[in-house]
Amino acid sequence: MSAPDHLYSNDIDFSVLALQDPEFNKHVKFNGQLDFSNPEAVQQLTKSLLKRDFRLNIELPCDRLCPPVPNRFNYILWIQGLLDTTADTYTECFDPNREVVGLDIGTGASCIYALLGCSQRPAWKFAVTDIDDKNMQYARRNIIHNNLKSRIRPLQTTTKSPLIPLDALGIESIDFTICNPPFYASVSELLASAASKSRPPYSACTGAEIEMVTPGGEVAFVTCIIEESVRLRERCQWYTSMLGKLSSVPVLVEKLKGAGVGNWGVKEFVQGGKTRRWGIAWSWGKLRPRMDVARAIPGLPKYLLPFPSETIFSISNISIDDTASRVNTLLQNLDLQWQYHSPLATGIGFARQNVWSRAARRQKNQTSSRTGRSATNDDDNKMDEHDDEEDAALGFKIHLTQSHEKGAIQIWTRWMSGEESVLFESFCGMLKRELSSL
């Protein structure tokens, strides 16, 4: 059974965990705290959390990175949100039947992302890579120990291998990449960073240089992923990476924009209210994630955030049924595909182009006059259920809810698919204008 999303929303109670796991109890001090400067204690914390919360058992070497479980779990949850809100079913919820394949770039000795992903989602599978012999030996061992050999495929790579070796894996396409890149450009930078910090929760760092240092640091590493994604395009739905420095986010967002990416997301991962990490994701596809998933770094300048995929406004002195009737009448008279589900007060629509502007409606009326057909019945260019939704320039969802204000209805519009933000913005403006004027 999947662990709840809020599993680590509060600090871990070490006293409770000590009662649940005798091995962890050996490392807890008399005051119920853990000595985070002790590598063995930190490693046991990771093992005990994985065992208690996910029924996973792992072995870890003493000279490789020990991953903090809450941070890694939060990253998996973000991946789930990206995939769930950009599924081609447009349901925006978990589909247990959807088969998903992920790639962990640099899986480490723990293989933690693949283990967590498989424990959370029964239909998920992974390919995992690493350039380090020892990491790959332990990763293979952890895969076997948790009976996941049929769902996790390891591949040892080299520094000359592609970071996303789909051809070497014999895989045509994947759903996402996940990566915890080396953060630092040099050992001196790593040491300077450690010296500048007060003791963090996971202060005992056992990582090897190969795991923590790369020429150019994390920006250069993720830039390589961006460059490979330019070639691979939609062979992967979501390319993602964790980042150790907030300063890397604006640099990489600008690189994405420069590469022509118009669909991206950013995330802040907070661990116990102290340690912070950040995530960046991008897609060459048209499916748009929900705003709480894609615009999730508080205080980040707006120009670094993706275009808002949701708008909301209210109209007064009207019922939900009457509002639904107005929306249906408005959209059914446009050359687009629209289906409204009354029990859910929700509808989904698709348009090939801007068919709601005054110019578009004027042209439609003129065409109807020449052919002697009414504008309502002039369906030559109208999308219907047989048209391919992938050909639509705009996909949208409209949901109606009762406002807290008496007699008011909220109209929530969600950008589901498309490449042109101006089209979604124009549609939302038309919807608000037309409904507010009635």
| Contact indicator for 131, 87 with CB cutoff of 8 Å | no
| Contact indicator for 197, 245 with CB cutoff of 8 Å | no
Mean pLDDT for the stretch of residues 264-280: 88
Distance CA 29, CA 37 (A): 13
Mean pLDDT of the chain, nearest integer: 91
Structure tokens at 411: 């109209």
What is the pLDDT at residue 201? 43
| Contact indicator for 130, 143 with CB cutoff of 8 Å | no
Spatial CA neighbour of 266 closest among 233, 301, 231: 301
What is the pLDDT at residue 104? 98
Structure tokens at 129: 């890579």
DSSP 270-310: EETTTEEEEEEEE-SSSBPPPHHHHEESTT--GGGSPPP-E
Q: Please tell me which residue, 270 or 86, carries the higher pLDDT value.
A: 86
Half-sphere exposure of 23 (CA within 13 A, CB side): 13
| Contact indicator for 351, 394 with CB cutoff of 8 Å | yes
Q: Is residue 99 pLDDT above 80, yes or no? A: yes
- The whole-model pTM stands at 0.92
| Contact indicator for 125, 154 with CB cutoff of 8 Å | no
Distance CA 227, CA 102 (A): 19
What is the pLDDT at residue 428? 98
pLDDT in tens, 283-306: 999 999 999 999 999 999 999 999
Structure tokens at 76: 């998996």
